[in-house]
């Protein structure tokens, strides 16, 4: 578990719907660069289809940055946000949208104090062979668009 996420924060997040969490999935071997690039290409294709300018970050199963791509006009601040979303999704074994929903829909305002918990849609797990190999984060548009781009990347790993 990344050191920035506390066990208390994870326990709080575990109260969310079981369908959005992968708590029972183990971490697998870290995503390889060529796979990260494939994921990023799929995400970038969705970004272009939506006429967006985003930053896409991919971290491995240990939360380490493996790949980063920033569109020419993506704001500079989106770099840290994309990395943060990817690390948070990997650390909690759930999409960052789950953190957002817990705060907005279940009054779990205490989650804002959990270090590393990024409560904005756009961070999604990368799963292969029923193991978490990393996560993708997208930032630079409205949260739903960031999420759509990240999900497009994650879906590229599925058969």
pLDDT digits (tens, 9 = 90+) for 68-92: 999 999 999 999 999 999 999 999 9
Q: Is 108 helix (H, G, I), strand (E, B) or coil?
A: coil
Domain count, the chain: 1
Weakest-pLDDT range from 15-19, 72-76, 89-93, 135-139: 15-19
Q: Does residue 72 lie within any of the structural domains?
A: yes
Residue-level pLDDT at 117: 87
Structural domain containing residue 36: 7-155
In a domain, 136, yes or no: yes
Over 50: is that where the pLDDT of 45 sits?
A: yes
In angstroms, the Cα distances linking 89 to 15, 50, 73 are 16, 23, 25
From CA 93, how far away is CA 123, in angstroms rounded?
10
Q: Select from 96, 91, 120 the least CA-distant residue to 27.
A: 91
Which CATH number fits the domain that encloses residue 72?
3.30.450.150
Does 1 map to a domain? Answer: no
Residue 86 burial class via C-beta count within 10 angstroms: exposed 0-12, middle 13-18, buried 19 and up: buried
> What is the pLDDT averaged over residues 136-156?
98
* Cβ–Cβ < 8 Å for 154, 35: no
Average of per-residue pLDDT across 92-115: 91
Q: Which two tokens stand for residue 135?
A: 């996560």
Predicted TM-score (pTM) of the model is 0.85
Is residue 107 predicted with pLDDT exceeding 60?
yes
More confident residue, 45 or 20: 45
- Is residue 2 assigned to a domain? no
Output the six-digit token pair for 120.
């904005």
Q: Reduced to 3 states, what is the DSSP secondary structure of residue 60?
A: strand
Mean of the per-residue pLDDT values of the chain: 88
């Amino acid at each position: 578990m990344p050191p920035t996420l506390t066990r208390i924060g994870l326990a709080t997040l575990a109260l969310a719907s079981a369908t959005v969490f992968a708590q029972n999935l183990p971490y697998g071997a870290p995503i390889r660069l060529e796979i990260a690039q494939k994921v990023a290409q799929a995400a970038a294709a969705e970004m272009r289809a939506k006429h967006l300018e985003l930053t896409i970050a991919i971290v491995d199963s240990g939360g380490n940055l493996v790949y980063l791509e920033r569109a020419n006009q993506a704001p500079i601040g989106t770099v840290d946000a994309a990395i943060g979303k990817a690390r948070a999704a990997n650390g909690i074994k759930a999409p960052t949208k789950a953190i957002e929903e817990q705060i907005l829909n279940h009054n779990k305002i205490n989650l804002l104090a959990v270090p590393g918990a990024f409560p904005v849609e756009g961070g999604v797990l990368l799963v292969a062979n029923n193991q978490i190999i990393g996560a993708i984060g997208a930032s630079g548009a409205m949260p739903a668009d960031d999420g759509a781009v990240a999900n497009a990347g994650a879906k590229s790993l599925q058969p």
